[in-house]
């Protein structure tokens, strides 16, 4: 095999994060008496996305991000609620979401027959650990590396190096990163000097994406990852 270990992102790559997040934020708004309107949901997404970009740039921490997005949302929306309670409720609800992208389970099964799979995720530790206590993907995943637990988030290469160490793979040419984010997954792979496969879920890849390979679907990804 060309590669000896797959380092895969979780949200947007294996999990349908948008669907799970939609459920969790709707439950959170309802619980705290905030109308579940398109305007409120869009505002939350804008605030949340900006916070995650700050994390990628090293301008905030995951712990701070978790609370700040709700503090900012409440300020901008004008609603009154306890931001910390909203944060805790949302994280708990998000940890219950295990919606997979179509084909993700078969993809993990087929890869795991040839090499170990380690997840490298910027996601919140409590959410990711909760998901994998009872998930159909768990039997196929060898290990989980979470940014909050090691102190560095993608695109920093530390998570990749940690996963390679856990897998017993020292040669960067024998590892490959699979992910949907150019600024996190692909940039981290480039920073670590390992190959990457950009997963676009049917879309065309943007120019200057930086990935070694592009896969619109799981079958295309398998062709690359399981190549001899």
Here the CATH number for the domain that contains residue 56 is 1.10.150.240
DSSP 112: H
Range of the domain at 153: 5-16+100-225
Domain boundary among 38, 64, 94: 94
Name the residue with higher pLDDT: 214 or 18: 214
Do 154 and 65 fall into the same domain? no
pLDDT of residue 130: 85
Q: pTM value?
A: 0.86
pLDDT tens for 41-66 read 999 999 999 999 998 899 999 889 99
Q: Does residue 159 carry a pLDDT above 90?
A: yes
Q: What CATH number does residue 160 fall under?
A: 3.40.50.1000
Do 10 and 111 fall into the same domain? yes
Do 137 and 174 fall into the same domain? yes
Residue-wise over 99-136: b if at least 16 C-beta within 10 A, else e? ebbeebbebbeebbeebbbbbbbbbbbbbbebbbeebe
Q: How many domains does the chain have?
A: 2
Do 21 and 52 fall into the same domain? yes
CA–CA–CA angle 112, 121, 166 (5° rounding): 55
| Mean of pLDDT values over 201-227 | 97
């Amino acid at each position: 095999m060309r590669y000896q270990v797959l380092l895969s992102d979780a949200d947007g790559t294996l999990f349908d994060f948008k669907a799970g997040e939609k459920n969790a934020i709707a439950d959170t708004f309802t619980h705290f008496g905030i109308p579940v309107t398109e305007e409120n949901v869009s505002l939350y997404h804008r605030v949340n996305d900006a916070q995650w970009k700050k994390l990628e740039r090293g301008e905030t921490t995951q712990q701070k991000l978790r609370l700040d997005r709700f503090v900012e949302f409440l300020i901008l929306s004008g609603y009154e609620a306890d931001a910390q309670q909203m944060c805790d409720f949302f994280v708990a609800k998000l940890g219950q979401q295990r919606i997979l992208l179509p084909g993700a389970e078969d993809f993990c099964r087929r890869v795991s027959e040839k090499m170990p799979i380690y997840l490298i995720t910027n996601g919140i530790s409590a959410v990711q650990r909760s998901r994998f206590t009872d998930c159909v993907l768990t039997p196929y995943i060898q290990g989980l590396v979470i940014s909050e637990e090691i102190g560095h988030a993608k695109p920093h290469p530390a998570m990749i190096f940690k996963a390679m160490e856990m897998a017993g793979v020292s040669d960067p040419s024998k590892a490959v990163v699979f992910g949907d984010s150019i600024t996190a997954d692909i940039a981290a792979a480039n920073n670590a000097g390992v190959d990457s496969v950009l997963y676009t879920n049917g879309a065309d890849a943007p120019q200057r994406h930086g990935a070694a390979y592009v896969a619109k679907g799981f079958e295309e990804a398998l062709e690359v990852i399981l190549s001899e």
